[in-house]
A = this chain, B = another copy of it.
Amino acid sequence: MTLWHGRFAEQTNSDAFALNASIGFDRRMAEQDVRGSTAWVDALAQAGVLNLQEQTLISGGLQAIFEEFQSQTFTFAPGDEDIHSAVERRLGEIIGPVAGKLHTGRSRNDQVATDFRLWLLDHLPNLANALSDLQSAFIERAENDMDTLMPGYTHLQRAQPILLSHWWLSHFWPLQRDQARLADLTKRTAVMPLGSGALAGVPYPIDRGALADALGFAWPSPNSLDAVSDRDFAVEMLFSAALIGTHLSKLAENMVIFTSAEFGFFDLDDAYSTGSSLMPQKKNPDPFELTRSKAGTLLGTLTGLMATLKGLPSTYDKDLQEDKVPVFNAYDTLMAMLPVLAGALRTLTVKRVRMEAAIDAGMMATDMADYLVGRGIPFREAHALTGQAVRQALEKGKSLDAFSLAEFQAIHPSFDEDVYTVFDAQVSVARRESLGGTAPKAVKVQIQQAKEILQTQQSCRNQVKPYPRIKLLGENYVEHNLPRMRRRI
């Protein structure tokens, strides 16, 4: 029996019931629902709507239900259209008619928005931790691979030599921006809709500030009409997830290319590769291909929910029920991918010889131009002169560093014996020691900076008590998630 049967002369059509029911997915918020109801009972009691006996009875019943969920002994009934109905039904079975007092002053509209925000606040830290672990993997690789040079690419064409460690860290920072976005999202999720009723507010003297404290929210919502319809937090979560996916897709694309036979820069561990049903020699970078593909799917979930929200009229519309599946899917997708990526990175083999062999003299053309700049030639002219040298090299089929001094001087008389030093990739790399550059000196600073950020974040997260967790978040957590950028080396 639904919560709203009174006014209706007829049962819901079974197909319509199936379309309408959300129990298939909102059961995932069972614990949050019970927690929210328990706090609501206390707030009703404090407001004088329930007496102590009723409060005790209902709270006890909710506690029993909570334990049933935890022990997975809760049984759903065919008529449970959603988790709220299921809990209220079961409460009635346990404690009798007084269960009917639980929903006083409350609507499923504010209840479901509260549950969903609680669920997200419970799970965002898991996502942040999984991201941190992947960030740690990049730092570990950067520390391990400090001695390895590799070709840096733009347009997938060889550009300039860089440190492999620098490249690993280039994947750290996007994820750090994602951490900051998740922290910002947390702020905006930590607003409590409960006490907004169906749309107009609650007609009992509920202390919503205290209720927010009890549930671990930072603030009660300021407008009841907005509160029951605001799904910004869900959209923002999907955006954050899609952007994380985009960042991981860049890593993935690189790994697919770098593990190809032609590049051959990395060898994945067998535990993180798969084979072919037909071709016995194949070893495929499936985890990275799946990571790349799921960036598309994550973008689809974002697009889908935003399109759903577009053009809805004010307050609660049933359309909003379409909010949960994409958020759950996005969360599950990232939580499945992140540990696999961390594992694959930690276990891969760097094929240093292949990497360094791929650095050709042409990649030091910019250094050659800078050499001429050092001799007073304007950069633009130096660039053109070096470009001519490159063209000659292509035509002659010889490497730039194989040019004779005479050949260099034919291009420009400023060239001298010391021109050959510019073709040393180690030297090239070491010269870029400005903040954020690829020189070992700068990369070591970068590693230090990255480690500090992770540690601060972690210690901040560790301080957070389960509930009330959000007040802390509001005050310190966010700031610690700001990028802690250095201004000087």
Contact = CB atoms under 8 A, between A and B. Distances in A.
B321 A434 contact: no
B304 A485 contact: no
Given A282-B154, A300-B303, A290 B318 contact: yes
A392 to B, nearest CB: 10
A488 B100 CA distance: 29
Interface in A164-188: 166-167, 169-174, 177, 180-181, 184, 187-188
B321 A293 contact: yes
A196 B436 contact: yes
Contact of A296 (B19, B170, B208, B310): B310
B300 A226 contact: no
A379 B103 contact: yes
**Copies of this subunit:** 4
Contacts of A339: 15
A278 B363 CA distance: 12
Contacts of A381: 97, 100
A15 B201 CA distance: 37
A395 B370 CA distance: 45
Given A310-B299, A436-B208, A5 B293 contact: no
Per DSSP, chain A at the interface is helix
Contacts of A277: 3-4, 84-85, 103, 107-108, 383
A343 B17 CA distance: 12
Interface in A291-325: 292-322, 325
A101 B174 contact: no
From A13, A152, A249, residue with most partner B Cβ within 10 Å: A13
Contacts of A202: 432, 434, 437
Interface string A212-251: 1000001111111111111010011001001101100110
Interface stretch (A27-35, A64-72, A264-272, A461-469): A264-272
A405 to B, nearest CB: 19
A265 to B, nearest CB: 9
Given A224-B436, A280-B368, A315 B153 contact: yes
Contacts of A159: 198-200, 276, 279, 282, 315
A226 B363 CA distance: 19
B15 A343 contact: yes
A310 B310 contact: yes
B290 A309 contact: no
Contact of A304 (B226, B299, B482): B299
A300 B289 contact: no
A363 B434 contact: no
A160 to B, nearest CB: 4
Given A203-B431, A438-B224, A261 B360 contact: yes
A180 B362 CA distance: 46
Contacts of A292: 310-311, 319
A316 B155 contact: yes
Given A209-B435, A278-B108, A446 B223 contact: yes
Given A307-B300, A432-B202, A434-B204, A7 B378 contact: no
Interface string A407-424: 000000000000000000
Contacts of A171: 226
A247 to B, nearest CB: 8
A275 to B, nearest CB: 3
Nearest to A395: B9
Contacts of A280: 4, 6-7, 365-366, 368-369, 383-384, 386-387, 389-390
Contacts of A157: 259-261, 282-285
A9 B391 contact: yes
B299 A301 contact: no
Contacts of A300: 300-305, 307, 326
Given A103-B277, A160-B199, A303-B303, 19 more contacts: A6-B387, A8-B391, A12-B272, A16-B271, A16-B343, A109-B154, A154-B315, A155-B285, A157-B283, A174-B230, A180-B184, A197-B437, A203-B428, A220-B487, A222-B435, A224-B432, A250-B311, A297-B322, A306-B307
12 contacts: A6-B388, A7-B282, A15-B339, A166-B224, A219-B486, A249-B312, A261-B358, A280-B386, A296-B309, A297-B304, A299-B307, A300-B303
